[in-house]
Amino acid sequence: MGSTINIECFTRFGTPKKDLSASEQILLKRSETLINLTSDSTKGIIHGSGMKCSDFTGIPCGGEITVLLTDIPNELRWSCSICGTEGVIQNWRKSPAYINSVKQKLREKKQEATTLRLSSEGYNRMKKLAAEKSDLINIFSTAEEKDGFYIIPISEFDIMRLIEVIAIRIEMRDKDRPELSALRDEIITSFARNSLI
């Protein structure tokens, strides 16, 4: 068995940790490059990645990295048929570069944004929760106040990310659980209403 890389060890809340060493940054960058090259591959079938073994491993080798992607467990198994080097990247879907590429693809498809309608209290609470994530906090800068509510243009993908942020906080905070659960329900209800229009 070769090396195992867990993307969660390099990230915090979907972004790279700030205290990564230079070698960890290189390892994350190489892993994310391989993930992005192969993320559209059919799951459960071995594919060529188009990436040279030497570019990924740093070992002098003329081989190509082949990959096997699975969702359950969320793993990318890679190997080189020439030198025999192999390994696993765990939690590949949590790679910040992969998440950004999914968002970019949604933008390129010009998927219509939906809107989120939050109460003033829900808006302020969600804005505080999203403050650590620059891409999420930017969403709130586009909000418009109307009749005591905040109307926010947002993609379905970003709504799922907001719900994920809330879920993480629910796990971490005992006393705030009722308010966080109410906020989650408000977001889900607004999204469900919008989907029916």
Same domain, 18 and 95: yes
Q: Write down which residue in 78, 100, 122 finishes a domain.
A: 100
The reply to whether omega before 73 is within 30° of 0 (cis) is yes
What single string gives the DSSP state of each residue in 31-80? Answer: HHHHHHHHTTSPTTSEEEEEEEHHHHH-S----EEEEEEETTTTEEEEEE
The whole-model pTM stands at 0.55
> Is 64 part of any domain?
yes
Each of the 197 residues of the chain gets a pLDDT tens digit; together they read 468 999 999 988 778 888 999 999 999 999 999 998 888 888 888 889 999 999 998 889 999 999 999 888 889 999 998 999 999 999 998 899 888 887 777 666 555 567 889 999 999 889 888 887 777 777 887 888 888 899 988 878 788 888 888 888 887 766 788 888 888 888 888 877 765 44
Q: Write down which residue in 79, 100, 121 finishes a domain.
A: 100
Same domain, 93 and 15: yes
Q: Write down which residue in 55, 72, 100 finishes a domain.
A: 100
Q: How many distinct structural domains can be found in the chain?
A: 2
Same domain, 69 and 11: yes
Secondary element (H or E) of residue 164: helix 156-172
Quote the CA–CA distance of 62 and 83 in Å, as a whole number: 9
> Is 105 part of any domain?
no
* Residue 146: HSE in the Cβ half-sphere, 13 Å Cα cutoff: 8
